Structure 1
């Protein structure tokens, strides 16, 4: 009986620890710093890192995207021209957590600004590119107002957006907004 009582008393704490293990906040200094610099919710950045690389700084996708926030070479050099034109960085720099989070957070900020702060549409753009999302926004079938996607017609895009939103909800419920 004593053991059962202890388990019942400890269960909420155990469940929270399991959730914290499932939704970690690795690279907290980098995430918090770049979130503040770009006026982003750090929990949203954690959601993207979790989805993109599962916190593996050496992650590389089948299309060659690299690092914690999985950026392609073309996007890396475009962002570098905007935020770090004089810095000695190259595509391999994305394996460094600080660089990956810095560049990924900046790109996420641009996506959110471009799509009116809508997380789902910004996530679709982060995943599939602005050109793809802009083309969908021109089609009234996928948007109500021409600025936010109401539907995500591509399976990979829809799955990605769903994962981002679910993880962001979990991070928010676990750690607060």
Structure 2
């Protein structure tokens, strides 16, 4: 092989290695840039598509009025209806917070709301108001215990009172696995996980769980 041919091949090999090296650097840089983008963009994506906060003004207004954590309230709404205000369950529950007509009528009496009707609880704001008030009343009934209050929201306060009596549950009961109904166990877990997600995505400036901003 001529010396010139040898040198030409060496130079070609060098150029090839240099090109591959540059391609590797560029690919790594692009991958890292994309990973960084996903890290910062993921919260925005989750807020807009996975954990949106519609009806925020109403939720915060009634959560403040009835002393309910707004993160818990929005988690209940998302779990109950996925923000579909016209949804009906097979059991007859209505709207965003899936209120049974009998329960809604009782709540309307407690709130002295003369505008109550079955049709009226389809209205998002009234449904939210009633649902948050009811959640507040369950929290008071069960000593501020969110596990018990959520279990009662799903399974009924009478069932939860029976479980407390029959099983000797203490006021600080938090053993979700001990809840007899599988549906209720899954419901309580889902709401609490969703509450934590909203708390991380919409941090309150004062740390109190109110006044949440993007």
TM-score, structure 2 normalization: 0.76
Report Cα offsets for 1:5-55 as digits up to 9, x if no partner. Answer: 431331222211232121111101111111111111111111000000000
Larger RCO (CA under 8 A, 6+ residues apart):
1
Task: Name which of 37, 50, 60 aligns with 1:32.
Answer: 60
Tell me whether 1:6 sits opposite 2:33 in the alignment.
yes
Q: Structure 2: how far apart are the matches of 1:107 and 1:32?
A: 15
Aligned to 1:76: 104
- Pairs within 5 Å for 1:1-177: 1=26, 3-20=30-47, 21-85=49-113, 87-140=114-167, 143=169, 145=170, 148=173, 150=175, 151-176=178-203, 177=209
Q: Structure 1: how far apart are the matches of 2:202 and 2:68?
A: 15
TM-score, structure 1 normalization: 0.91
CA contact (8 A) 1:136 1:149 kept: no
- RMSD across aligned C-alpha pairs, in angstroms? 1.6
SS of 2:166's equivalent in the other structure is coil
Structure 2 gap segments, 5+ residues each: 1-25, 204-208, 210-214
Structure 1 gap segments, 5+ residues each: none
Count residues in correspondence: 174
